[in-house]
A and B are shown apart, each in its own frame.
Chain A
Amino acid sequence: MKNKRPLLLDIYITFLKIGAFSFGGGYAMIPLIEREVVVNKKWIDKEKIVDIFAVVESLPGAVALNSSAFVGYTIAGIQGAIAAMLGNLTPSVIIVLLLSILISSVGSNPSISAVFNGIRPAIVGLIAYAAYRIGRAAIKDYITVIIMIIAFIGAVFLKIAPIPLIVFGAISGIIVKKIQSKKL
């Protein structure tokens, strides 16, 4: 317990940082979690993090909070999950409380909206890059390329929700591996 304390504090601060800089909700947090947890801290390897995002997508609740809890649990058990969630929530509490109090007196401001007009496309670039990084761990052959394209088309044009797509991925993965093992 005692020698775990620096790790828990480390988890808390890491997720505080991630929370403070993720504009635009859960998906915007993925590139930051990947950079901090996989690249910088090396707490989790790059394939496992993709699998964690996959499980989190199919659970109820906020993607961002669930990812924090899941990653925290993987690193340091229940205490880790709590530390990560608290860290992730801290900036929200401070910033939203301040804004809620301020906005009624100040109102909207054109320079603030200009700053956000610059930030939003950068977030699009960040998320696209996260998909690219995750793809490097996930896309191993032409079959996975096809599954990825089907999922993308299903989400964009047919508006299929993440859970049915993930179920589709699981079933096609099991079938493909079964056929491959029979061939060998």
Chain B
Amino acid sequence: MLFNIFLIFAKLSMFCFGGGYVMIPIILEELEKNGWATAAEVIDVVAIAGMSPGPIVANAAVGFGYKIAGVPGVLAALLGITIPCGIIVIVVAKFFLKFYENDKIQSALYGIRAVITGIIFFAAVKLALENGIIGASENLFIKNGYNIFVSSNQLFELKSIIIIVLSFLALLKTKIHPIFIICIAGGVGLFLF
């Protein structure tokens, strides 16, 4: 069984391009197929994985590994998500650093860097969408939030937008470490929501 856990998480990590939440439907299918967890249990573990700090995939591996087989299950799942991808990354990193100064690579990177800037802006927008901060439907509304509507569609939630703007400005204008901003925002959340 431990080897099976390793294989499932190795497979999961190989299929999740760009972001941990992609793997949730795959996890659900695998665990139900093996009779290791029900859909409700999967949702609980995903919630814990999402609210804990750290990579979502790693959090899910710890949560599901523990649920299925205790601490040995955690180890099997962690080895599954780290070993295959770790090897790929190290091989790619080796070639990347070797050919980094090449002219063709540099021209490609000139275009790629601009794309990455766009993708990271997109990541911010996506997080805001997924957490009911902008363009939310009724089931996503933030509890005790102050929603601004345009013709019955939520445009944004005001308290969250204020926190976004203040965090951005704090980073831009001061030298406050991002970790402090996260802690302060957590404390502010306690009063606001």
Contact = CB atoms under 8 A, between A and B. Distances in A.
A70 B97 CA distance: 10
Interface residues of chain B: helix, strand, loop or mixed (majority): helix
A60 B85 contact: yes
Contacts of B184: 122
A121 B185 contact: yes
Interface stretch (B32-40, B105-113, B147-155): B105-113
Nearest to A34: B178
Given A111-B190, A121-B161, A65 B118 contact: no
Interface string B116-129: 11111111111110
B116 A21 contact: no
Interface in B87-115: 88-90, 92-94, 96-97, 100, 104, 106-115
B63 to A, nearest CB: 5
Shortest Cβ-Cβ A-B pairs, 10 listed? A118-B189, A173-B111, A125-B167, A151-B118, A61-B85, A169-B115, A122-B185, A138-B113, A64-B55, A92-B54
Given A91-B53, A92-B52, A178-B107, 6 more contacts: A63-B19, A113-B193, A117-B142, A118-B187, A131-B121, A166-B115
26 contacts: A19-B53, A25-B55, A29-B55, A32-B179, A63-B19, A74-B93, A89-B58, A91-B53, A96-B48, A96-B52, A96-B59, A99-B51, A114-B192, A121-B161, A122-B164, A122-B181, A124-B160, A125-B164, A129-B172, A130-B120, A131-B123, A138-B116, A151-B118, A156-B122, A173-B114, A176-B111
